[in-house]
Amino acid sequence: MVMQFSAADREKVSAAIAAAEANTDGEIVTIATPISDSYHDVALHWAVLVMILVLAWAAWRPTALQWWYLHIAGGWYPDPSLGELLTFLMILAVGKFLVALLLLTWMPLRLLLTPAATKHRRVRRRALAVFQAAAAGRTGDRTGVLIYLSLAERRAEIIGDEAIHKFADEHTWGEAMAAMIEHLREGRPGDGICAAVERVGSVLAEHFPKTAGNPNEIPDKLILL
């Protein structure tokens, strides 16, 4: 199922951010993207593996390679020379490589064959890059928090600015992540982000309660990349 954000989702997220920031000097940035990486290298690695398996098969069963050569040639030719067999093997290996690469242009298959750890690293890396561009240092007290959602990988990251590091660790945002994932599993990304915003806002309100005159430094909206 492909998850998407409707206009109603965007309005709900904006309202959730405004409500959360009403009780804190912190700023919450929400960003969603269809995918965090192209994973071209993953496709290449699988295609190379297919080519290596063809070579391994030929080394293991050279008679099978010769049988296929004669079968394709039509069986009317004498036994092939070593050079002819090697040429046939090269064509076969490269052909399998290209077919695998072509199949892996289909992104759902490429994502299916991408290790979970690789997805986690790529989403985290993209989230950090987006955080530096969209939230880091944009608040006077360094109290910005990014909620980043990558839809294709079904992964999310919550990253805090400099002042947040004094009290936040990997467990601080656990409740917010759990609430968001629960909605994502049901195909409701808008509700998931709203749930995460509410819980992040509660944490920020505890450590950075609202003070008079604190401006709204970052727009209260869902950014779609």
Biggest CA–CA distance in the chain, Å, is 93
Structural domain tally of the chain? Answer: 2
Cα–Cα distance list, 62 to 10, 131, 144 (Å): 61, 55, 63
In sequence order, what are the residues at sequence separation of 6 or more whose Cβ sits closer than 8 angstroms to the Cβ of residue 50? 96, 97, 99, 100
Q: Are residues 121 and 202 in the same domain?
A: yes
Please check whether residue 47 is in contact with residue 101, taking contact to mean a CB–CB distance below 8 angstroms: yes
- Give pLDDT tens digits along the chain (225 positions): 456 788 888 888 899 998 988 888 888 888 999 999 999 999 999 999 999 999 998 888 888 888 777 777 766 666 777 887 888 888 889 999 999 999 999 999 999 999 999 999 999 999 998 888 776 666 667 778 889 999 888 888 888 887 777 777 667 788 888 888 888 888 888 888 999 999 888 888 888 888 877 777 777 888 888
Helix, strand, coil distribution of the chain in percent, nearest 5:
60, 10, 30
Kindly tell me the burial class for residue 35, based on how many C-beta atoms sit within 10 Å of its own C-beta (0-12, 13-18, 19 or more). Answer: middle
Asked whether residue 151 is assigned to any structural domain, the reply reads yes
User: What does the pLDDT read at residue 1?
Assistant: 45
Q: 98: which 2 tokens?
A: 């290209």
Model pLDDT, residue 174: 83
pLDDT of residue 24: 85
Cα(13)–Cα(198) distance, rounded to whole angstroms? 10
Rounded CA-CA distance 182/192 in Å is: 7
Last residue of a domain, one of 112, 127, 162: 112
Owning domain of residue 79: 40-112
Task: Tell me, yes or no, whether 2 lies in a domain.
Answer: no
Last residue of a domain, one of 55, 81, 112: 112
Same domain, yes or no, for 50 and 33?
Answer: no
pLDDT for 169 equals: 67
Looking at the structure, do residues 125 and 211 belong to the same domain, yes or no?
A: yes
